Amino acid sequence: MTAQLISGKDVAEKIRAELQPRIAALKAKGINTGLAAIAVGEDAGAQSYLKGIAKACEALGIYTETFNFPIDVTQQKLEQQVEALNKDTRFQGVIIQRPLPKHINENTVLRLLATEKDVDCLNPLSMAKLMMRETDGFAPCTPSAVIELLDRYNVPIEGKRVVIIGGAGNIGRTAGIMLLNRWATVVLCDYKTQNPAEEFRRAEILVSAVGKPKMIKKDVVSPGAVVIDVGVSRGADGKLSGDMDFDEVSQVAGMITPVPGGVGAVTTTILLAHTVQAAERLSK
């Protein structure tokens, strides 16, 4: 048996196509959708990620601007920038690239971000809204991409047994909350879980968000399980790899996401979708 491929690229294309008329409708009202990013330092990975966001925004006609600060930026300057963007009507969405430098009190900065513009769930108040099942906030983009892929491929969530590998991490834990909110039975596993292989084999939906290449082999995956691979890392050959040994696991899984081209391909598009939704809410 060969697993059905869950293509993040295909899903991202569909979402972008759905966003275009919504953005056009906002423009017809005189509203230009805008996304602002705050970045500190010159981390190559962060800059590459932000360039990818800018390119995606440009393709859809979303205005975007990155506010770059040196690594020795003061707490006061960062806080002032967040407060300025909260009031700036050019932007309905704001993201802050993390982690911030050690001399910055990150929690204080994130708590200043207006929840109505917090399109990647950075403010702890936004996470509280998610946990309380309030619908006027935004969930983090990567866990949202997990849910989006399941929905787009018509994978039932309600009542299903979901096992999350790396459940103590931010992505795994938040994905668990979101799946609980959809009435799944969720088991969060991490390095202290006893007999983890037994838990993995019981999963109808297996989600991994660890970042260790090819750590999951086919012997711990239940035949027919839906496998969502969030982990991204480079193997010994220098190639991008997920947590799953794709060649092996795809022999037993019912459905599986590739890396690259799976969850990561949808994450940025979810950020754009949240920004459009924020613009629609703020336009009412």
DSSP string, the chain: --PEE--HHHHHHHHHHHHHHHHHHHHHTT---EEEEEEES--HHHHHHHHHHHHHHHHHT-EEEEEEE-TT--HHHHHHHHHHHHH-TT-SEEEE-SSPPTTS-HHHHHHHS-GGGBTT--SHHHHHHHHTT-SSS---HHHHHHHHHHHHTT---TT-EEEEETTTSHHHHHHHHHHHHTT-EEEEE-TT-SSHHHHHHT-SEEEE----TT-B-GGGS-TT-EEEE---EE-TTS-EE-SB-HHHHTTT-SEE--SSSSHHHHHHHHHHHHHHHHHHHHT-
Please give the average per-residue pLDDT across 216-239, as a whole number. 92
Please give the average per-residue pLDDT across 15-19, as a whole number. 98
Q: What is the pLDDT of residue 18?
A: 98
pLDDT at 236 over 80: no
Architecture, CATH, for domain 141-264: 3-Layer(aba) Sandwich (3.40)
Mean pLDDT, the chain, whole residue set: 96
Q: What is the pLDDT of residue 1?
A: 60
Q: Outline which parts of the chain fall under CATH 3.40.50.10860.
A: 30-117
Q: What topology does CATH give the domain 30-117?
A: Rossmann fold (3.40.50)
Q: What is the pLDDT of residue 42?
A: 87
Q: What is the pLDDT of residue 240?
A: 87
Q: What is the pLDDT of residue 82?
A: 98
Q: Outline which parts of the chain fall under CATH 3.40.50.720.
A: 141-264
